[in-house]
Amino acid sequence: MIAAKVLAELGAVDILVNNAATVEPAGPATAAGPEDWARAVAVNMTGPVRLTLAVLDAMIRQGYGRIINVSSGLQARVRA
């Protein structure tokens, strides 16, 4: 796992920036299948949570750490 490698090589993680996102599935919710939604949740939520958990204990032990979560996405106007 990358977090373990970073901790082993650098000894500490002071700042974690979770900045991975996908805007898919875009369009009507009815056009997206379960696989599309599973991928979006994995990228936008599960990935950042797993990486946060991988470094959080080390940050607490060292008495310092900052976690920044960046989210972006596609904005659409709903038409009636």
34 upstream amide cis, omega within 30 of 0: no
Mean pLDDT of 22-38: 83
- The Cβ of residue 55 has, within 10 Å, a number of other Cβ atoms equal to 21
- Locate 78 and state its tokens: 């709903």
pLDDT band at 20 (very low <50, low <70, confident <90, very high): confident
Mean pLDDT of 46-65: 94
- For residues 55 and 24, the model is more confident at 55
User: Mean pLDDT highest for which of 23-27, 35-39, 61-65?
Assistant: 61-65
